[in-house]
Structure 1
Amino acid sequence: MSGEPIEGQILLLTAAKASVASTRLPELVERAQAHLAPERERYRQEYERVHAGDQREAFLVEWGHWDALGEALEASERELSAIRRAHEEQLLRIGRRTDREDEFETALEIREPVCIGTNDDSGREAKR
């Protein structure tokens, strides 16, 4: 599906690694997307955007950012770990496709990724 923050194949692989049901992880990622999408412009202003494509934008944020988001998402530790891992795997896949995998792996040693799908207008400049 166009504009999703995380590709379906990554969701399946991540669910298996994170001990979260493969049917549950897409729901969790959608919940995170619903929370993140309205904040996309703020992410553009406050964080380094390392990828901007037709389907998603990827940002590098400070370590611990997902912990704060976990409270807002009302996600368990295991669920939050799965969401975070899905975003990491998506960023690494982008890196492999754009020949930036080493750069992204190094960045992930000190920062966390946030991928936000572009399937809505919340991040586009509003006409005033």
Structure 2
Amino acid sequence: MPAEDKTIPIPNLAQARQKSSVAHQILVKLKEQGLEEDYDDDLAKLCTDLGDLWGAQLSFTERLGDFLDTETAIVDSWHKFGDCLADICSELEHMAWHIQSVKGPIERIAQRAYQADDQNPYETRVV
């Protein structure tokens, strides 16, 4: 591919801020609920992975839209299809990594949530 055909992707700063906000909202929600400091490592991974998954699903949707918007039966359309499919594959691999990474933390925090509920089944929380 000639050098002039290569474009440098522009970072989506608004999406990065939104992703960070989602991660922070998860953190605040669980800390306000009373999640103990013993879970801080899991909570950090949970917030990061879920925030990144939220952002990745937006990127995935965008990449899929790019693929569906690619014109057919034009010169070089197969090359464009290949590029779009490679981008989709990259997004899926990114999502798969975060899905695998979040499994342990989400299971441990969910287990903690069920244990807390079992210990205080009739407690009403006033905020």
What TM-score do the two structures reach when normalised by structure 1? 0.30
Which has more strand, going by share of residues? 1
Which has more helix, going by share of residues? 2
Structure with max Cα Rg = 2
